[in-house]
Structure 1
Amino acid sequence: MTVPEWPADWSERISGASCDFCENGGQDRNAYGARIFSGEYVDGYLQSADIQRGYTLAIWKGRHIVEPTELHDREAAGFWIETLTVARALMQFYQPLKMNYETLGNTSPHLHTHLLPRYEIDPRPGQPFPLLPQSDNEVQMPEDRFVSEVTALRKLLQAT
């Protein structure tokens, strides 16, 4: 039996030497989605992959941080308050049955939280969402729907 191992470049990932979030942060649109929220601590990106309606990342926008425990108290409060601000807008717009908050970082070790709305029709009701690392091969939302949702969410979030 082969024992799974962490990637060979894990130390480099942890250090932030080649952190995709650090290098590509602050863009209004990137390969994975569009920014719907820009706060002091968090950028919120609605994902364009048609994985789950409303799937959004709340990404720490300060220095490279891996764990929330590395944040100072004020930063931690700001991160979670702004993450919840984004989640409230998603709840209002999509009206899911439940919202999942997944702060993982097992692939990209830069502090971020996956906001995953859960619906009546769901791939795994009552269990964690079957989220896999994105491979750039995911089916994308139709562009008109994506732009419409981004516009509506930005409008909701500007009102907060």
Structure 2
Amino acid sequence: MRMEWPSNWIDRISGHACEMCQSPRLDEDSYGVRIYSTPEVDAVLQRADIQRGYTIIIWRGRHVVEPFELTESEANSYGKATLTVAKALAAFYQPLKMNYQTLGNTVPHLHTHLLPRFVEDPAPGRPFPLPQRGDEAPIAPALLAEQATALRALLR
């Protein structure tokens, strides 16, 4: 079966139909809970129970698809925020390894999936298999809130 890019792909990469550009910078939404922010970056601990500590770093400056589209100053800001959050995730969750996945094949806006990797892992030694369904069971709200509070304290 041959797959094709979505019919509105050009609008997505141009920013005209970019869901990340259009979404407000909320402390909490259907995707997760914001645990860290700078003027240009948000870090959102994901609500879906895919992997403990799964967090997405979202570029909130102007619309860009690729990291190389950032200016040197913007790239430093994005990189520093990504590493700051990854360090806090590693300190809190104590994973065996951290993964950094910057893809943008579904949502073409610069963002990085931070995925702590543990002993009990769906693909040891391989890239983390991110699901594409969007209907994953959520983390218990109290547990998500507890983890977000602890991570925010580490990120202060």
Correspondence for 1:28? 27
Counterpart Cα distance in 2 of 1:151 and 1:19 = 29
Identical pairs, percent: 55
Counterpart Cα distance in 1 of 2:24 and 2:126 = 31
Aligned length: 156
Counterpart Cα distance in 1 of 2:45 and 2:82 = 13
Counterpart Cα distance in 2 of 1:105 and 1:134 = 16
Q: In structure 2, what residue type is equivalent to 1:43?
A: D
When residues 105 and 3 of structure 1 are mapped into structure 2, their CA distance, relative to the original with a 3 A threshold, is same
Counterpart Cα distance in 2 of 1:134 and 1:39 = 30
Counterpart Cα distance in 1 of 2:79 and 2:127 = 20
1:62 aligns with 2:61: yes
Q: In structure 2, what residue type is equivalent to 1:95?
A: Q
Q: In structure 1, what residue type is equivalent to 2:141?
A: E
Q: In structure 2, what residue type is equivalent to 1:150?
A: A
TM (normalized to structure 2)? 0.96
Correspondence for 1:93? 92
Query: Contact 1:107–1:133 at 8 Å: present in 2 too?
Result: no
Counterpart Cα distance in 1 of 2:141 and 2:16 = 33
Q: In structure 2, what residue type is equivalent to 1:144?
A: A
Counterpart Cα distance in 2 of 1:28 and 1:134 = 24
Which stretches of structure 1, 4 residues or longer, exceed 3 Å deviation after superposition?
Answer: none
User: Which deviates the most, 76-85 or 18-27?
Assistant: 18-27
Counterpart Cα distance in 1 of 2:133 and 2:114 = 15
In structure 1, the gaps of 5 or more residues are: none
1:103 aligns with 2:102: yes
Q: Cα deviations across residues 44-100 of structure 1 (Å, max 9, x unaligned)?
A: 000010000000000001011100111001111110111100000000000000000
What is the Cα deviation at residue 134 of structure 1? 4.9
Q: In structure 2, what residue type is equivalent to 1:126?
A: G
When residues 25 and 87 of structure 1 are mapped into structure 2, their CA distance, relative to the original with a 3 A threshold, is farther
Q: In structure 2, what residue type is equivalent to 1:118?
A: R
Q: In structure 1, what residue type is equivalent to 2:61?
A: G
Q: Cα deviations across residues 120-151 of structure 1 (Å, max 9, x unaligned)?
A: 1100000011102352x210001110000011
1:153 aligns with 2:151: yes
Counterpart Cα distance in 1 of 2:2 and 2:120 = 36
Counterpart Cα distance in 2 of 1:88 and 1:21 = 24
